[in-house]
Amino acid sequence: MVHPTSRPKVLLGMSGGVDSSVAAHILKDRGFDVTGLTLVTGSISPDSVERARLAAARLGIRLIIKDLSVEFDQYVVNPFIAAYAAGLTPNPCVMCNPGFKFRHLVQVADSYGIDRIATGHFARIVREGTDAFIARGVSGKNDQSYFLYALLPEIRRRIEFPLGDLCKDDVRKLASDLGLGFQGVRSSQEACFLMGGLKGWLSERMPGMLVPGPAYDVATGELIGEHTGSLGLTIGQRKGHGVAKGERAYIARIDHANNAIYLGGRQDCLVGEVAAGKPVLGKATVKGLEEGMDLLVRTRSSMDPVRAHVRLENGRLLATTQELIWASAAGQSMVCYDGDIIACGGVILG
């Protein structure tokens, strides 16, 4: 029986992994009345659900389990496939967080009268008056703020990120000290629903999507081989395109209309300007972006932020970087930071 409590209530997303389980412990330690929520999708194994149950029992918290496999396909998997079919390189976590994961956290929290929501992301929330902004986690190596930029203000105001001041090694040690039993459990991958390689996975779901085509030298235009299908490839890719050039060859350009790719050296994949679609605003304002702002920019989750002048023109977010950046790919996201705080972000245009 769950007894009434005057402690602040929080609903925590629990995947059955070490991060969310340690996040539950920290929230309890901070005085929260914690309820866990496990969203069952085609990507979460029965073992993960059982680990979530065991962690919740060990920590003495209630766990709600919801099977949302069909909806996960509708809001995450199918748009992911459609984006590749359109010649983009989608980011599934950026798609999942606002449209699926946090939306359900809010819906379930509301149905149980819970004000706060939380996850085990390595990120921070910065509150300024009635506003709340996503910020980089203290550990640059483990920071996951990039994947959260698209969360809207009404969601951000309710968020707790208990792991924001920690690194992955801190979390693993704490899990060990608490006896949560996560030894040997692998960290989740970015596209959690992918089983095997991307090309094989896409081919199974869209037969005939990947058609071999010509590969050219980006400098000379000379035909140098045949690739495995442009819709499964991305800018900057060195392996898996099927072309043996005799030297390190990166995909510098993709012509999806003609199913062709252009290969070159690493320098051919560097750019100094990036354009993204309509921005999701964090700390930045429309007026500030129209005037132009000096910010830090990331176009991949793993890259170190680079300085850039960012402006809003005709509804597009444009960034001119102070140093060339690697392989900006249409469909990925450009996330802009004011110091550690997310200023804005948008999906990169081709």
pLDDT, mean of residues 28-50 = 93
Helix axes 198-205, 78-85, angle to 10 degrees: 100
Helix axes 18-29, 168-178, angle to 10 degrees: 70
Residue 196 is assigned to a structural domain of this protein: no
pLDDT, mean of residues 64-76 = 95
Residue 197 is assigned to a structural domain of this protein: no
183: pLDDT confidence band, cut at 50, 70 and 90? low
In a shared domain, residues 343 and 311: yes
Is 93 known to be catalytic? no
Dihedral angle sign, alpha carbons of residues 221, 225, 230, 234:
negative
Secondary structure letter of residue 230 according to DSSP: G
**Which of the following is catalytic: 96, 269, 336, 344?**
96
DSSP string, 241-283: S----SS--EEEEEEGGGTEEEEE-GGGGEEEEEEESSPEESS
Q: Take residue 18 and report the two structure tokens written for it.
A: 């070490």
In a shared domain, residues 125 and 150: yes
Q: What is the CATH number of the domain that holds 291?
A: 2.40.30.10
**Which of the following is catalytic: 93, 167, 192, 336?**
192
Is 344 known to be catalytic? no
pTM comes to 0.93
In a shared domain, residues 51 and 94: yes
In a shared domain, residues 66 and 168: yes
Among the candidates 264, 280, 301, a domain finishes at 264
Dump pLDDT digits (tens) for 229-268: 999 899 999 988 888 876 789 999 999 999 999 999 999 9
Domain count, the chain: 3
Among the candidates 133, 163, 178, a domain finishes at 178
Q: What is the CATH number of the domain that holds 230?
A: 2.30.30
Dump pLDDT digits (tens) for 128-168: 999 999 999 999 999 999 999 999 999 999 999 999 999 99
In a shared domain, residues 275 and 322: yes
DSSP string, 98-145: IIIIHHHHHHHHHHTT--EEE---SEEEEEETTEEEEEE-S-TTT--G
More confident residue, 200 or 181: 200
Instruction: Give the pLDDT of residue 45.
Output: 83
Q: What is the CATH number of the domain that holds 170?
A: 3.40.50.620
* Contact between 265 and 248 (Cβ < 8 Å): yes
State the pairing for strand pair 306-313/250-255: unpaired
Spell 109-130 as b/e; 16+ CB within 10 A means b.
beeeebebbbbbbbbbbbeeee
In a shared domain, residues 156 and 51: yes
Q: Which domain holds residue 317?
A: 270-347
Instruction: Give the pLDDT of residue 95.
Output: 93
Among the candidates 136, 162, 178, a domain finishes at 178
In a shared domain, residues 78 and 18: yes
Residue 201 is assigned to a structural domain of this protein: no
